Structure 1
Amino acid sequence: MQRKKWVALLIVLVVFAAGLCVEFVSGAYDELAESPGFSWDENIVSGSGTDKIVQMFVNGVISGEQNATGMPSMSELLSEQLRRVEEDENVKALVLRIDSPGGEVVATDELHTRILHLKQLRHIPVVVSMGSTAASGGYYLATTGDSIFANPNTLTGSLGVIFNLFNYSDAANKLGVHQFAIKSGRFKDIGSPSRPLTDPERQIFQTLVNESYNKFVDVIVKGRNLSRQRVLEIADGRVYSGEQAKRLGLIDQFGDLEEATRYALSLSGSPEAMVVRYTDQLSISKLLLSMKQYWSNPDPLGLTRVLERNGSPKLLYQFMP
């Protein structure tokens, strides 16, 4: 009997503790959702002195969307880091380490504009260091660099735009599933996955793709000082190795992040400087918040991730094999 009482008490305590955790996470989530609270630690990698060389990392798909936990997007986080660089008079150069296949057209262009604004405002050099992949939108950002370093085996290029539309009309017809769109205009349901794409609709989408493509070409022409005709010849969507990219004038030198950082120091005009990185401050609330998606996973089979690329259609500067 005594043992049963202790078991019952233990169960009550566990339930109570679980309730506190849920309440805490919920409160933390609300707090961070209302104010993302960008908090950065400035970690010194090497060097000394008061002047700084900032290493900033663009890793993964470039997106303006928040993740599943509601935390800020990559675009928001990098923009905040750029703002910090902008406000720190001790920063004398920026090294942009890119390991990305690209991503959303809008998010990529906004970051590109933000970096150019920083260069114009602060007149500091930007040196790009390419990782394993710096393709499509990753290369779009690389054009902001005063010099681009890469490995001979880096995967780059994929210069162009893609717009994917998911269509299940054939499968729906076989299953006897039909969707009827009551619309206000001829093109209101343009790109509907429940019916075939018409030629006029395809032309509309192609016009959007062409506009974004021309912007990409302009960015390369200006950033790499190449003729428009030359860029049009090489910007056909194919990927290039670092070796090929150097021959085409898309990158400048072979070298790793450390070599790119040394070059940035030489451009900065400072005899010595600290090499620093911004890292997000870890807190209990952020840790629990990041685990929230695993505690209440609405998609245990991972089907959302499989179909994610076929969700809301977007113009993409992205390498998508």
Structure 2
Amino acid sequence: MNAKRWIAIAAAAVVLVISVLFNSAYTLFQSNLGSGIDEYMALEESDISENVIEEGSGNSRIAVLEVEGTIQDTGDASSLLGSTGYNHDFFMKQLEQVREDDTVKAVVLNVDTPGGGTLESSQIHDEIVEIQEEAGKPVYVSMGSMAASGGYYISAPAEKIFVSPETLTGSIGVIMQGVNYSELAERIGIDFETIKSGPYKDIMSANRDMTEEERALMQEIVDQSYNAFVDVVMEGRDLSEEEVRAVADGRILNGRQAVEADLADEFGLEEDAISQLREDYDLANAQVFEYGAPGTGLGSLLSMKVNSFLGNDMETKLVAELLSNYNSPRLMYLYGEE
């Protein structure tokens, strides 16, 4: 290992220690101040701004929402290593706002994501269905360079899906991954002592091999989530189970293949989806707007400082990410790796 890598690991370790100390101090600070800081944070997060994209009637509006990055709830934004990309809590607030705002008549959802957590994807899907069925508001999807796995899961209910010929989509399936470093630990003389309440309490542990029985148990869980995915596509796209399963083997599709398989409707970009929505639902004079980013709190500012410190050294960033991520395996509607 060269000097640069040692420096990267050392820098990442320092950042991790600072992050832990900050989060501990923040928790103590929050508990001491009580409701005062809670009210401040609630006010900051609930203050959703709006940016007008196309002028029009304020009583008849089209909301443009965006899902970009891995769909996962990263928790408290105060983490120094927190991502500045997709914000699940903020996006769910946008969906709620769209559902409750009577001036919003329709939605265009821009999707550019490899997917993400099964829970987060299902939460978005269910909220979109509520917007359509309970609020009676149509949702059109415009797919970007990638709308795979969970990205397709949240797109499936849309009345129409627009793709580029080069869009990567599909990847209908579920994945759960873990790391097994037991052989490495044995080589360097590390022993793990585990006391557990049942034989499966440490299933998918990183310090031992899985048994065949354990694999069967986990496979059953994955299969259940996969079947739920198939049902979502069947219902959203009005396809038979046979038609869906023919392309639901995890394969990635480009936009042309997606249209041929009836997983998408038309070729086009965001402006094409908006134009078609205006025409289909008599919204020629509708104002088009998007929601602004949430307020920047203390945690976000510190996160920006840390990212600035790390600079463009991708190796350092990757090590920092590995150190800050949880090791617990998760069910994911995800194309590729996290």
TM over 0.5: yes
Alpha carbons of 1:308 and 1:268: their partners in 2 closer, same or farther (altered >3 Å)? farther
**Is the radius of gyration larger for structure 1 or structure 2?**
1
| Root-mean-square deviation over aligned CA pairs | 2.7
* Structure 2 residue aligned with 1:64: 73
SS in structure 1 of the partner of residue 110 of structure 2: strand
Give the distance between the partners of 1:295 and 1:41, measured in 2 at CA: 25
Distance 1:43 1:310 in 2: 36
Partner SS for 2:190: coil
Query: Which residue is equivalent to 1:157?
Result: 170
Shift of 1:41: 1.5
Partner residue in 2 for 1:274: 287
Distance 1:67 1:254 in 2: 38
Shift in CA distance, 152/312, structure 1 to aligned 2, threshold 3 Å? same
Task: Check 1:159–1:293 CA distance in 2 against 1; reply closer, same or farther (3 A cut).
Answer: same
1:97 is paired with a residue whose SS is: strand
CA deviation string 1:128-150 (max 9, x = no partner): 00000000000001112100000
Report whether the alignment pairs 1:251 with 2:264. Answer: yes
Q: Provide Cα deviations, 1:20-65, integer angstroms capped at 9, x if missing partner.
A: xx99xx7899548852622122111013113101100001000122
Q: Aligned partners of 1:183 and 1:34: how far apart in 2?
A: 39
Number of residue pairs the alignment of both structures matches: 294
SS at match of 2:49: strand
Instruction: Name 1:306's counterpart in structure 2.
Output: 322
Partners of 2:277 and 2:283 within 8 A in 1: no
Aligned partners of 2:287, 2:103: CA distance in 1, in Å?
Answer: 10
1:90 to 103, 106, 114: 103
Give 1:293 shift: 3.0
**Matched residues in 1 for 2:234 and 2:305: separation?**
48
Amino acid at match of 1:292: L
Structure-2 separation of matches of 1:124 and 1:272: 16
1:228 to partner: Cα distance: 0.1
What residue in structure 1 maps to residue 12 of structure 2?
none
> Does the CA contact (< 8 Å) of 2:114 and 2:151 recur in 1?
yes
1:293 aligns with 2:303: yes
1:294 positional shift:
5.4
Alpha-carbon distance between aligned partners in 2 of 1:275 and 1:247, rounded to the nearest angstrom: 31
Match of 1:215, SS state, is helix
Query: Residues of 2 paired with 1:200 and 1:30: CA distance?
Result: 49
Corresponding position of 1:45: 53
The one-letter amino acid paired with 1:54 is A
CA distance in 2, matches of 1:122, 1:295: 42
CA–CA separation in structure 1 for the residues paired with 2:270 and 2:119: 27
Separation in 1, partners of 2:154, 2:166: 19
Answer whether contact 1:93 1:124 (CA < 8 A) is retained: yes
Aligned to 1:183: 196
User: C-alpha offsets along residues 231-263 of structure 1, whole Å, 9 cap, x if unaligned?
Assistant: 111101010100111111110000000000111
- Paired residues of 1:163 and 1:316 also in contact (CA < 8 A): yes
Q: Distance in 2 between matches of 1:309 and 1:135?
A: 22
Contact 1:128 1:147 survives alignment (8 Å):
yes
In 2, Cα distance between equivalents of 1:37 and 1:116:
24
1:90-129 mapped onto 2 (5 Å cutoff): 90-129=103-142
Whether the 8 Å CA contact 1:38–1:280 is kept in 2: the answer is no
Superposition deviation, residue 69 in structure 1: 2.0
Provide closer, same or farther for how the CA distance between residues 30 and 194 of structure 1 changes in structure 2, counting only shifts above 3 A. Answer: farther
Q: Does the Cα contact within 8 Å between 1:93 and 1:265 map onto a contact in 2?
A: no
Alpha-carbon contact 2:78-2:298 (below 8 Å) kept: no
Q: Secondary structure in 2 aligned to 1:37?
A: helix
Q: Secondary structure at the match of 2:134?
A: helix
Gapped runs of 5+ residues in structure 1?
A: 1-21
Give the Å deviation of 1:289: 3.2
Shift of 1:288: 4.4
8 A Cα contact 1:125 1:267, kept in partner: no
- In 1, the alpha carbon distance for the partners of 2:267 and 2:305 equals 45
Which structure 2 residue ranges, 5 or more long, are not aligned?
A: 1-24, 311-315
Q: Does 1:196 align with 2:205?
A: no
State the one-letter code of the partner of 2:200: F
Percentage of pairs with the same residue: 35
1:77 aligns with 90
Cα 1:309–1:241, aligned 2, differ >3 Å: closer, same or farther?
farther
Contact kept, 8 Å, 1:75 with 1:111, in 2: the verdict is no
What residue number does 1:19 align with? none
